[in-house]
Amino acid sequence: MSRHDHLINGAWVPGKSYAPNTNPSHLADVIGEYAQGDAADVDAAVAAAVAAFPAWSTSGIQARSDALDRIGSEILARKEELGELLAREEGKVRGEAIGEVMRAGQIFKFFAGECLRLSGETLPSVRPGIGVEITREPIGVVGLITPWNFPIAIPAWKIAPALAFGNCVVIKPADLVPGCAWALADIIHRSGIPAGVFNLVMGPGRVIGDALVRHPGIAAISFTGSVGVGRGIAAACVENGKKVQLEMGGKNPQVVLDDADLKQAVELSAQSCFYSTGQRCTASSRLIVTDKIYTAFVEALKARIEAIKVGAALAAGTDMGPVVSQAQLEQDLRYVEIGKAEGARWVTGGGQVPCHSGSGHEGYFMAPALFADTTPAMRINREEIFGPVASVIRVKDYDEALAVANDTEFGLSAGIATTSLKHATHFKRHAQAGMVMVNLPTAGVDYHVPFGGRKGSSYGPREQGRYAQEFFTTVKTAYTLA
């Protein structure tokens, strides 16, 4: 079985131990063994990055652009191979997995261009004979902590801007999905980027993540993951004077009004709730439906859900792959029982599926679940489940729908299905979310525009697009006497 080491200072460094990376569609399929590090590995990686920073941060922008473009080109050229790896280790179906890989390649190519587009300002001073220049510079060594649900896209959208703007990187990928991060590190390693500029250290978050957050050589932390962990990271970063960026989840509403196109509303709701097995922070799990369309919507969505084919991620015809792990499966099934105990009307799904029909493989399969006649106060409508479980809330009109949509501690994504320009326009302005979708699934965003939320979903500057410079650079103001 192949072993995969850390990448520190341009060299592959053996782990203190190794952990297996298992396919959630086929538990007998072990993808490989991946190094497990400790605080000493973090120290070595940060020291290498600190040493590399002076030269890299002042290097020519064309060389940085060329390196990022080469990385993006290789990712795109290997999309089938990397997509299969992603499907094996995370459980996305083949088409979704290849799409995520393509997005990662496009992100690197976009930031190859951003290397050449970083701008500043020249202003006159209020004092005669003095000029003012406002420029952006890299912040230093950044620690990146990434989640398991997008094992190549999220590392890409953190690494690419960090490198584009002249920072050095130490990344810790999620324990469940080290394979895509390691493959990406291998591509970066061969791109011509100098030793020490990019470093990969794998291992448990309580060891590697904590060491990164508290290391004095780290200038900033970008984290995507749970609310509880994110809040702890924020507190530690503030205490140690580090810049911090957090993306922490959502309980995203999808409003369906009486005037909506029923077929369109059902399809976008099914995609929002169950695409990627519901394991997306932008997934919609609260379907808020007005009275006149409610019964027809629930019945149509039930039929659509029951047509979803659950099975092995790489099997032909599979619509929804497995849950990522045994622990996540147990959590999802527990919430199904919570919904039933709270008095929600169980409509369909929610049980464990023993295996993909005809495959003979044991895996973490679950039938997508739907509850109806729920109330906003129920736990299944308050807490992030992060799995294929959705609930429907009946409301009387648009005003009540908006109030229920905003009644959450989260604020990442929100959607509305309507043919009313008036309601769509009002919702875009008044939905308390960082991203709003009109007649589209709540999940699914472009790589060249900002990503992020409000309230408990996000903290700090936005990710992606040109807005990434807000986190990965610092502003300098210089005065010159003419």
Residues catalogued as catalytic: 247, 281
For 119, other C-beta atoms within 10 Å of its C-beta total: 9
- Both ends of the chain: CA-CA distance in Å? 67
CA–CA–CA angle 256, 261, 264 (5° rounding) = 85
Which residues neighbour 18 within 8 Å (Cβ) at sequence distance 6 or greater?
3, 33, 34, 35, 36
Rounded Cα distance, 216 and 131, in Å: 36
Q: Interior CA angle at 364 toward 362 and 365, to 5°?
A: 95
Burial group, residue 425, by CB count within 10 angstroms (0-12, 13-18, 19+): exposed
**Is residue 224 within 8 Å of 245, Cβ to Cβ?**
no
Query: Distance (Å, rounded) from C-alpha 200 to C-alpha 318?
Result: 33
CA 13 to each of CA 9, 186, 191, 207: distance values in angstroms, whole numbers, following the listed order: 9, 13, 19, 17
Look up tokens 């500029």; give the residue: 197
Instruction: Check the CA dihedral 272-278-283-284 and report its sign.
Output: positive
CA angle, 276 then 454 then 460, to 5°? 100
Compute the 3-state secondary structure of the chain and give helix, strand, coil in percent, each to the nearest 5. Answer: 40, 25, 35
Half-sphere exposure of 112 (CA within 13 A, CB side): 18
Work out the number of other CB atoms within 10 angstroms of the CB of residue 297. Answer: 24
As a whole number of angstroms, the distance between CA 156 and CA 93 comes to: 20
The token pair at 89 is 């280790």
State the sign of the Cα–Cα–Cα–Cα dihedral 105, 246, 174, 44.
positive
SS3 of 367, please? coil
| Residue length of the chain | 482
Q: Which helix (H) or strand (E) holds 11?
A: strand 11-13
Using only C-alpha atoms, the chain has a radius of gyration, in whole angstroms, of 23
Q: Which residues contact 123 (CB under 8 A, 6 or more apart)?
A: 131, 132, 133, 134
